[in-house]
Amino acid sequence: MEKRVIVFAPHPDDETLGCGGTIAKKLNEGYDVSVVFVTDGRYSLAEIGIFAGPAPFEMKVIRREEAMRAMKILGLQEKNLFFLDFEDKTLEKNERLVQERVVEILKDVSPAEVFFPQENEYNIDHRVTNMMIRRALKALDLYPIEYQYIIAWSFPFYLLLHIMHEDIFDQLTSRFPKRNLIRVDISKFLPLKEIAVKEYKSQITLLSRGQRRPALKRSFLKRFLKNEEKFFVSGLAEPELRR
């Protein structure tokens, strides 16, 4: 029986940055993979002071189109993409509606594996997404393997990340709270991931005349373009995924 995998992205690009190589790997191995984009990501440029050219309502359209192109590169079919279209930065005040949609999708897909952002993320939409998925799985009495990917740590973890050796930091964060950290070899799929990341031009290039830097700095992107992807895992991770 074909195994189903579902990936939840709080914003368009989180899925590719956090687990784009693993998505391509899973598809290559014959898994049925779906991706859920929870918010529309319209305020990504507003965070760096750009409110026009494009405006937030235009960014919503741009980011959806970017996501669709990126997912096509990784190998996903359009029928396996879900856009919930919650306004960026509003998940916390829309918890009930978010919960209902997440429950509906999980119930329909009944995945063997679920990928979503880890609980100690800096961005509030990431943390709410984590909470909603864990609640939904409990409500549905579903027990898939949970893979929590890392985008940007909250304080004080992000500070520690910059002053500690990466291996020591990984050991620390996997012990508090007690979690299993695994590394997935995506070297075979890294070129594909890099091409998919480049589709998110609104995040990695200067899109507006008044823009001085991309929404995502080059140093930030560099962290995700490596031969491994890291996940905190709940449940029994398959041995072949670790290779």
Report pLDDT for 155.
Answer: 85
What is the helix (H) or strand (E) element at residue 108, kind and residue range?
helix 95-109
| Single-letter amino acid, residue 129 | T
- CA distances in angstroms from 67 to 56, 85, 95, 182, listed in the order given: 16, 13, 24, 26
What is the Cβ-side half-sphere exposure of residue 200, based on CA atoms within 13 angstroms? Answer: 25
Residue 34 has which token pair?
Answer: 């779906």
Query: What domains are there in the chain, each with its CATH number?
Result: 4-234 (3.40.50.10320)
Asked whether residue 123 carries a pLDDT value surpassing 70, the answer given is: yes
Strand-strand pairing, 32-39 and 228-234 = unpaired
Burial class (CB in 10 A: 0-12, 13-18, 19+), 130: buried
What DSSP assignment string belongs to 180-198? EEEEEE-TTTHHHHHHHHH
pLDDT-derived band at 235 (thresholds 50, 70, 90) equals low
| Single-letter amino acid, residue 35 | V
DSSP 117: E
Report pLDDT for 1.
Answer: 60
pTM > 0.85: yes
Asked whether residue 238 carries a pLDDT value surpassing 90, the answer given is: no
